[in-house]
Amino acid sequence: MTYNIVIPARMKSTRLPGKPLMDIAGKPMIVRVAERAKLTGASRIVVATDHPQIVDACEREGVEAVLTQESHPTGTDRIAEVCQKLHFEEDEIVVNIQGDEPLIPPSVVDRVASLLAQKPGCAIATAAHPIATVEDFLNPNVVKVELNALGEAMTFTRAPTPWPRDAFRAGPPYELPERFRALHHIGLYAYRARFLRAFSELPPAPIEQTESLEQLRALWNGERIAVLVLEQELPAGVDTESDLERVREVYARGNLPL
C-alpha cells in the first residue's frame, strides 16, 4: 500500500499566531511534524500552507511545501488544492496530519491509511479512542463518534452519546457505568483524493452547521467513514503556550511516541 501525507499549516492561528514556526528543540514546529510523518510508510509528504515563510522554513530542512490560497475556510479545502496541483489520482490515499501535532505516533498514521485501503466503499478513515472519564463524556469540546456493526461512523456529535439512561436516571453527580463505551473522535483523517476534490462542492449539512463539525458533511451526502478504534488516547497537539512547553519537554527527554 502506498499513500501520501499532506500537512496543512496556517500562519494566523487564533491562540498562537505564527504557531507553525515556533521552535521545538531547534527546529520549527511544522518541520517537527514533517519529521514524524517521515517515520511512516508514506511515499510522499507535503506541507500545504498559506504563507511563504512556512514554505521557506520547510524547504531549508528538505521538506516539500506547496503555497496555497489564503482564503480556504478549512484545512480540508487546503489539502484539496494540493491534490489538484500535484495531480493525485482519484483513488490515491491522502492522510491529513495537522500542522500542530509534533507528537503524532507514526504507527497510528499508518494504521488509519491501511484501514482506508482495506475499505474500498469508504471515502474517509479516521480514529477514535474510549472515553475514560465522565468529565470528558459531558464535555462538548470532546467530539464523540457512534459506530455501526461495520466499524463505520453513524454520526459525530459534541453531545454525550450514547446516553446511559438507566445509570444516569437519578441525575448528577454522574458516574460512567461498568463496561460502558463511548468513543472520543480524533482529528486524524485519511481520504481518497476523489473525495477531497468533491468536498468543497458538497452542500453543507444542517447538522454540520449546528455542531460545527465538517465531517458531518460527508455523512450527510452519503459518504462512508471507517473508524479505527485505538486502545488509548494520542498525545495532545499544540493549542496554547503551555501545550508548546509540554511538547518541548518531551523533545528534550527524547521519548517520542512511535
Q: Please tell me the distance from the alpha carbon of residue 63 to that of residue 48, in angstroms, as a whole number.
A: 11
Domain count, the chain: 1
pLDDT for position 64: 97
Q: Which single residue is written with the C-alpha cell 495537522?
A: 98
Structural domain containing residue 10: 3-235
Reported confidence tier of residue 117, pLDDT bands at 50, 70, 90: very high
Tally the C-alpha atoms within 13 A of residue 29's C-alpha that lie toward its C-beta.
29
pLDDT for position 205: 93
Asked whether residue 240 is assigned to any structural domain, the reply reads no
Asked whether residue 251 is assigned to any structural domain, the reply reads no
Identify which has the larger pLDDT, 5 or 17. 5
Q: Please tell me the distance from the alpha carbon of residue 161 to that of residue 181, in angstroms, as a whole number.
A: 9
Asked whether residue 149 is assigned to any structural domain, the reply reads yes
Provide the percentage of residues in the chain whose pLDDT is more than 70.
100
pLDDT for position 1: 83
Asked whether residue 243 is assigned to any structural domain, the reply reads no
Q: Checking DSSP bridges between strand 44-49 and strand 64-67, what pairing results, if any? A: parallel
pLDDT for position 16: 84
Burial class (CB in 10 A: 0-12, 13-18, 19+), 181: exposed
pLDDT in tens, 218-257: 999 999 999 999 998 899 899 899 999 999 999 999 889 8
pTM: predicted TM-score of the whole model, two decimal places: 0.93
Query: Lowest-pLDDT range, 28-32, 151-155, 172-176?
Result: 172-176
Q: What is the CATH number of the domain that holds 78?
A: 3.90.550.10
Asked whether residue 119 is assigned to any structural domain, the reply reads yes
Asked whether residue 241 is assigned to any structural domain, the reply reads no
Reported confidence tier of residue 15, pLDDT bands at 50, 70, 90: confident
pLDDT at position 13 over 80: no
pLDDT for position 128: 98
Residues 6 or more apart whose CB falls under 8 angstroms from that of 5 comprise: 37, 40, 42, 44, 45, 46, 94, 95, 96, 97, 109
pLDDT for position 209: 94
User: What are the DSSP E strand ranges found in 40-176?
Assistant: 44-49, 64-67, 93-96, 124-130, 144-147, 153-157
Reported confidence tier of residue 72, pLDDT bands at 50, 70, 90: confident
Asked whether residue 136 is assigned to any structural domain, the reply reads yes
Asked whether residue 244 is assigned to any structural domain, the reply reads no
